Amino acid sequence: MNIQQFQDTLQLFSAASSVDEITELCRFHCQNLGFDNFVYALRIPTKFSEARVIIIKGYPDLWLERYWELGYHASDPVIAYCSQHVVPIQWHDLLLEKSSLSALVMNEAAEFGLRAGISMPMHSPRGELGILSFALNQERRSAAREISQHAMPYVQLLGGYVHEAVCRVFGVANPEDKLPLTLREQECLRWAADGKTSWEISQLLKLSERTVNFHLNNAMIKLDVSTRQHAIAKAVLRGLITPYPF
Amino acid sequence: MNIQQFQDTLQLFSAASSVDEITELCRFHCQNLGFDNFVYALRIPTKFSEARVIIIKGYPDLWLERYWELGYHASDPVIAYCSQHVVPIQWHDLLLEKSSLSALVMNEAAEFGLRAGISMPMHSPRGELGILSFALNQERRSAAREISQHAMPYVQLLGGYVHEAVCRVFGVANPEDKLPLTLREQECLRWAADGKTSWEISQLLKLSERTVNFHLNNAMIKLDVSTRQHAIAKAVLRGLITPYPF
DNA sequence: GGGGTAGCTGTCAAATCTAACAGGGTGTTT
DNA sequence: AAACACCCTGTTAGATTTGACAGCTACCCC
């Protein structure tokens, strides 16, 4: 299958209307590309410590169970890479420190047949992060590398379509609850996230300190939190505010 | 050039260290794909309703000037599409209402030789939006469609690499310089970001309240900030602390 | 006019955080 | 052994935030 034909099959994702259909399409492409397993995970920020996670399964169940039980997502180097980048990565290219938690996760994965692979990060406008991974149970590095290398462009293309399909099926794109915050609330929050105190913000926005507290309080109520810190974490994760404190 | 060779040339973007180099690479790919013009625009949110915009130019200067002067970005249907999607679009497929502002923009663009084209949106972790566009001065719809169709996968691949290159050159987000927060510092910060007070964190981690403040203070020093809020915003944006599930 | 939303301002007490002064301990590396 | 990183704990004073009590204007929609 050349890339042009491949491109045509991608249109099927736009028509898919259920998880099962998407799973089947992924499975098809997985085999087609010469991989053994696949998984797509979508993280949707909700509360700070309560992101919603949607998974399209094509991985060994035992591994997924173990993964969640032990909270491996926190040390998974693939997730760490994907949350910062926009181009795909071959697992072999990840920089791992010996006997780090990250290395442990990857080694255990290998025991479940996930020895080599490739992952494509997808970031969408509201901070959702989708990761499409294809894995290979292949001992020989060179062979694995060749397959991954060859699959790279296909995986990159697939990523976007799987991502849009999953978001559509689960009704993720929801512009309504994107900005529950008023203009002033966003402004105040942004400056607060920038380390400014109420008084400083009042000077910046030419308001009274009381008004700044008023807006920040309203923001906290809307975000259902009771401290500024929580409000900021939540707003940043949801993309409600984008401070630039660098 | 097949897709495999193409893939190899993409590595050049990782080495590019200046705007000029990136521009040249884009120009090369533009011609190679059979297009007449290209442009890459990166929007970095700063304050609410304010953004820093970086442009890699390969469009008629006159058009770009007019575009900015008249604030066309506000009605540009390509930007509207790109801010909501993650897969590329052929301009012909955009839904335009007759005599809308969007249609006006596209018509005027056509007068500058930008009659057909394709645009690839790139969203990165902190809300930056990059748009890579290739344009064609081609009257015949069918011919334009064919070229665009053929270029689609290449453009999608290019997008990520141009995006990462520009972000790197402009120092937009440098995940590399991860300030090493210690384990305790991360834990405390994570709970603080969840709205917990020092006392509550001390109970959660079975520490004294003083110790929690100690760790949070160290984290603030390392992040070079003077409030918890700023520390949390910075840490979340840099991916130094991860929300619980994932 | 009433009701809704958004914005603005005031005071006050209690809770919380920040910054400064201290003092311990462990473990690894040089 | 000394230097270093990480971890733990104490006190205090002052700044800041939080939550509660108030009040006001302006706009839009029904």
Q: What was the pLDDT predicted at A95?
A: 78
User: Which residues of chain B make contact with A197, given a CB cutoff of 8 A?
Assistant: 227
Q: What was the pLDDT predicted at B144?
A: 83
Write the secondary structure of A190-218 as one string of H (helix), E (strand) and C (coil).
Answer: HHHHCCCCHHHHHHHHCCCHHHHHHHHHH
Mean pLDDT is lowest, of A46-60, A129-143, B40-54, for B40-54
What is chain B's Cα-based Rg? 23
Of A3, A85, A193, nearest to B230 by CB-CB distance is: A193
Closest nucleotide to A226: CA versus each C1' = D18
Of chain B, the end-to-end C-alpha distance in Å amounts to: 40
Of B129, B193, B230, nearest to A195 by CB-CB distance is: B230
Q: Which helix (H) or strand (E) holds B52?
A: strand B51-58
Asked whether residue A182's C-beta has any atom of DNA/RNA strand D within 7 A, the reply is no
Give CA–CA dist B47/A243, Å, rounded: 7
Q: List CB-based contacts (under 7 A) with strand C.
A: A 182-185, 207-211, 214-215, 227; B 192, 197-199, 213-214, 216-217, 220, 226-229
Structure tokens at A145: 């590398």
Asked whether residue A208's C-beta has any atom of DNA/RNA strand D within 7 A, the reply is no
Taking CA B21 as the corner, what is the angle to CA A88 and CA B120, rounded to the nearest 5 degrees?
45
Residues 6+ apart with CB under 8 A from A148: A90, A92, A116, A117, A118, A136
Per-residue pLDDT of chain B (246 residues; tens, 9 = 90+): 676 778 788 888 988 889 899 999 999 999 999 999 999 999 876 433 345 678 888 888 889 888 887 777 767 889 878 877 888 999 988 887 666 677 888 888 999 989 999 999 998 876 688 999 999 988 788 888 888 888 888 888 899 999 999 988 887 655 445 567 888 888 889 889 888 999 999 988 888 999 999 999 999 988 888 899 999 888 877 767 765 434
Contact B5, B88 (CB under 8 A): no
* CA–C1' B234–C4 (A): 37
Q: What was the pLDDT predicted at A246?
A: 37
Nearest residue to B10 (alpha-carbon basis) of B155, B140, B176, B145 = B155
Domains of chain A, start order: 3-169 (3.30.450.80), 179-237 (1.10.10.10)
Q: What was the pLDDT predicted at B245?
A: 38
* CA–C1' A103–C26 (A): 26
* CA–C1' A238–C20 (A): 37
pLDDT in tens, B199-221: 999 988 888 999 999 999 999 98
In degrees to the nearest 10, what's the CA dihedral of B227, A201, A49, A173? -150
| Relative orientation angle of helices B19-32 and B3-15, to the nearest 10 degrees | 170
Report DSSP letters for A78-100, one per residue.
Answer: HHHHHTT-SS-EEGGGS---TTS
Q: Is the pLDDT of residue A47 over 70?
A: no
* CA–C1' A242–D12 (A): 37
Q: What was the pLDDT predicted at B246?
A: 40
Nearest residue to A246 (alpha-carbon basis) of B125, B171, B123 = B171
Give CA–CA dist B166/B13, Å, rounded: 9
Give CA–CA dist A92/B106, Å, rounded: 45
User: Which residues of chain B make contact with A85, given a CB cutoff of 8 A?
Assistant: 164, 175
Q: What was the pLDDT predicted at A99?
A: 59
Half-sphere exposure of B95 (CA within 13 A, CB side): 1
Question: Which nucleotides on strand D sit less than 7 A from a protein beta carbon?
Answer: 5-11, 15-19, 22
